[in-house]
Chain A
Amino acid sequence: MNHILEKHTLQDLLQSWRQDYDVYLPQKMENFSHFMPLTETSVLVDGDPHNTRIPPKALFLPMNEALVKFTRFGGYEDAKHEIQSRIVFGIRPCDAQAVQLLDTSFIQEDNIDPLWSERREKTITIGLGCHKPCQTGFCTTVGYGPFDRADLDAMLTDLGETYLVETFSEAGEGCFLGLPVASEEIYNQALDIQRSAHDQMPVAFETENLKGKLEQNFKSDYWDTVSQSCLGCGVCTFLCPTCFCFDIVDETQRRERVRNWDSCMFRTYSLEASGHNPRPSRVERTRQRLSHKYVYWLDQVNQIGCTGCGRCVRYCPVGLDIRAMLRQAQTLPFEVSHAA
């Protein structure tokens, strides 16, 4: 069902949800937006062309959370987490897509991450399409789009004074009960906006044969070239909405086993106790990062593991640009016979 939401009533609507849900929405933090819980005085960051700086994966996989508690006599018990029913409002389609991609890793048959899946079940996601797509994003290039519905419960399209609300699930519909139904005309207007946003996005690089090229050139100088100015920090991976690696660490003083975000760009990520490191330098680590997104994800679930949000492009301290790296990868030699 499609509804019309007047922008000036948005605040009231958000506040009304607070009775039953914890509501998260992008709010201003310093000079960027960040998903924070709604309070009486919260304001939605409007007109920020950018995504939140920390991707919403953090709402489902917190940067630091306890997994296990140590009990007194050498025992272990599950760490308890109170997980409330939540509404995440204003999630961008690329991020929603990314969260859905991460489900394939965290929710596998008989191998389910309890915390992730509980958070996912208890969260209603309401998206906000990108009517003015950002400059660094390349969602259409990797097969997604600025108005992809992913598994959102509802999505908003900015029409100036109003939002068009498209609901895709019962839970989503439940959030917007009582709002006027959008007319066909308005819906078409929204579709036009969606289409034009989609068309505005340039093709950043060709994806044809990209997987094969990266695979076949596993031992190529290409990786030396693209990684030489890399600093080896974790910005690209920590801000990536589809990066999910984590580290499990014992915090002795808290008597907990916790998980922290980890990054394949760190030296200690794959360092073994013997001192051997399968990925000893930034060359191998960069290769792992790119290959994971553009090769391994495809092997595993047949989808590119990058939703083109553009965060890594924007915040890389040395201006390394994944779009340029992949354009360069397209110039690599490729033998079709191998691809079969």
Chain B
Amino acid sequence: MQPNGHSLYTPIPMHVLHAYYESPDRSLKTLELSFDHAEDSQAFFEAFNPGQFCLLSVAGKGESALGVANAAWEGDFVRFTAQNVGSVTAALHKLNAGDPVGMRGPKGNGFPLNDWKGKNLVIIGGGCAFSTLYALTKHVHHESHRDDYGKLTLIYGTRTSGLCMYKHDIAAWHEDEDMEIHQAIDIPEDNWQYHVGYVPDVVKQVAPSPENAVAIVCGPPIMTKFTLPALVDLGFSPENIFTSLEKRMKCGVGKCGRCNLGPQYICKDGPVFSLAELNALPADL
């Protein structure tokens, strides 16, 4: 049962508040959704923790798991950024402000923020998987939480400068002295003033200090695969490296079986795992 008394599988009704493209090639679209019922909103924010995901549903097309890309303090809405890859995300891309959409969530464990208190955070993101890290950064960076954490380092790589998401905030963070931000693109471009290269290389170059720090990695599998060893080389212990995983999901509540990684279900026990936990699980990704 969900807090609103509906079955586990019934989405809560939402409407699109804002819908806009993140990238000039229109492959990334951000949807900001508002709740139809205030009690749904309350239940959502009571349970919400950055790093969690929701299942967005378009009637007749299906459901798709997307990471929540906003912090609770931002207001009474939920933000998602979808890349146009499959049939559901294609349908999501067709939505405009005012259109109805269903949502189930928040699902999953989210980032263990309480355990990270007092530590330096190294946030490493790649491509459109940056969305939950954006939520995390927003959360941590907010004045009411900022004092709980130490130094904030952000490394964000995309294929091109256009594919960089949340450009206004990223630009603001570049100005912000409170935060160290390293942005990278894969292919050199004119007028690009930051790093050029793949994220694992940028991580090696930046070499964040493992001293009292946790690293959070979220990106495409190939990036994660090379970034995790790079961090281990820098001296991060596996307990202090976190990553968020993704697999095909249907139910989102650990029943339909397909997102398992060994005995753990990514939808229910994940999606955030530490490298130490991952090392103990079979490599079934």
A positions within 8 Å CB-CB of B: 67-68, 70, 73-78, 105-106, 108, 111-115, 215, 218-219, 244-250, 252, 255, 257, 259, 262, 264, 269-274, 276, 278-279, 284, 288, 291-292, 295-297, 299-300
Give complex CA distance A115, B251 in Å. Answer: 14
**Contact A250 B8, CB 8 Å, known A262-B258, A295-B262, A296-B260:** no
**Contact A218 B282, CB 8 Å, known A111-B268, A113-B8, A292-B260:** yes
Query: Quick one: closest B residue to A70, CB to CB?
Result: B59
**Contact A70 B60, CB 8 Å, known A75-B13, A78-B7, A296-B260:** yes
Contact of B13 among A74, A247, A264 (CB under 8 A): A74
Minimum CB–CB distance from B64 to chain A (whole Å) comes to: 8
A and B contact pairs by CB, cutoff 8 A, 5 listed: A77-B6, A111-B8, A215-B282, A247-B256, A250-B60
Closest 4 CB pairs of A and B: A74-B100, A273-B86, A245-B257, A299-B263
Contacts of A219 in B (CB 8 A): 283
Give complex CA distance A151, B55 in Å. Answer: 35
Query: Quick one: closest B residue to A278, CB to CB?
Result: B285
**Contact A218 B283, CB 8 Å, known A112-B8, A270-B248:** yes
Contacts of B102 in A (CB 8 A): 74, 76
Contact of B258 among A75, A269, A284 (CB under 8 A): A269
Report the tally of A-B residue pairs with Cβ distances under 8 A: 124
Q: Judging by beta carbons under 8 Å apart, are A250 and B59 in contact?
A: yes
**Interface flag for B221 (CB, 8 Å):** yes
Q: Judging by beta carbons under 8 Å apart, are B8 and A73 in contact?
A: no
Contacts of A250 in B (CB 8 A): 59-62
Contact of B221 among A77, A246, A249, A276 (CB under 8 A): A276
Give complex CA distance A239, B100 in Å. Answer: 40
**Interface flag for B18 (CB, 8 Å):** no
Restricting to B180-208, which residues have a CB under 8 Å from any CB of A? none
Give complex CA distance A220, B33 in Å. Answer: 47
Query: Quick one: closest A residue to B256, CB to CB?
Result: A246
Given contacts A248-B250, A291-B262, A299-B263, 7 further A-B contacts (CB under 8 A): A68-B7, A68-B9, A74-B13, A113-B8, A246-B257, A247-B256, A248-B251
Q: Judging by beta carbons under 8 Å apart, are A272 and B247 in contact?
A: yes
Give complex CA distance A114, B10 in Å. Answer: 11
Q: Judging by beta carbons under 8 Å apart, are B250 and A247 in contact?
A: yes
Contacts of B260 in A (CB 8 A): 288, 292, 296
**Contact A67 B99, CB 8 Å, known A248-B256, A292-B260:** no
Restricting to B7-27, which residues have a CB under 8 Å from any CB of A? 7-13
Q: Judging by beta carbons under 8 Å apart, are A244 and B13 in contact?
A: no
**Interface flag for B46 (CB, 8 Å):** no
Minimum CB–CB distance from B16 to chain A (whole Å) comes to: 10
Q: Judging by beta carbons under 8 Å apart, are B6 and A78 in contact?
A: yes
Contact of A76 among B1, B11, B248 (CB under 8 A): B11
Contacts of A269 in B (CB 8 A): 248, 258
Number of B interface residues at 8 Å Cβ cutoff, please give it.
Answer: 45
**Contact A284 B250, CB 8 Å, known A74-B59, A74-B101, A273-B86:** no
Contact with A along B220-250 (1 / 0, CB 8 A): 0100000000000000000000000011101
Contacts of A271 in B (CB 8 A): 248
Give complex CA distance A215, B280 in Å. Answer: 10
Q: Judging by beta carbons under 8 Å apart, are A249 and B262 in contact?
A: no
Give complex CA distance A248, B250 in Å. Answer: 6
Contacts of B221 in A (CB 8 A): 276
Contacts of A67 in B (CB 8 A): 7, 9-10
**Interface flag for B253 (CB, 8 Å):** yes
Minimum CB–CB distance from A68 to chain B (whole Å) comes to: 5
Restricting to B262-276, which residues have a CB under 8 Å from any CB of A? 262-263, 268
Q: Judging by beta carbons under 8 Å apart, are A296 and B257 in contact?
A: no
**Interface flag for B211 (CB, 8 Å):** no
**Interface flag for B89 (CB, 8 Å):** yes
Contacts of A244 in B (CB 8 A): 255, 257
Query: Quick one: closest A residue to B64, CB to CB?
Result: A273
Contacts of B172 in A (CB 8 A): none
Q: Judging by beta carbons under 8 Å apart, are A295 and B256 in contact?
A: no
Give complex CA distance A299, B260 in Å. Answer: 13
Query: Quick one: closest B residue to A297, CB to CB?
Result: B263
**Interface flag for B32 (CB, 8 Å):** no
- Residue of B6, B12, B257 with most partner-chain A CB within 10 A: B257
Contact of B284 among A248, A288, A297, A299 (CB under 8 A): A288
Query: Quick one: closest A residue to B12, CB to CB?
Result: A76
Give complex CA distance A270, B249 in Å. Answer: 8
Contacts of A279 in B (CB 8 A): 284
**Contact A76 B10, CB 8 Å, known A270-B248, A272-B247, A272-B248:** yes
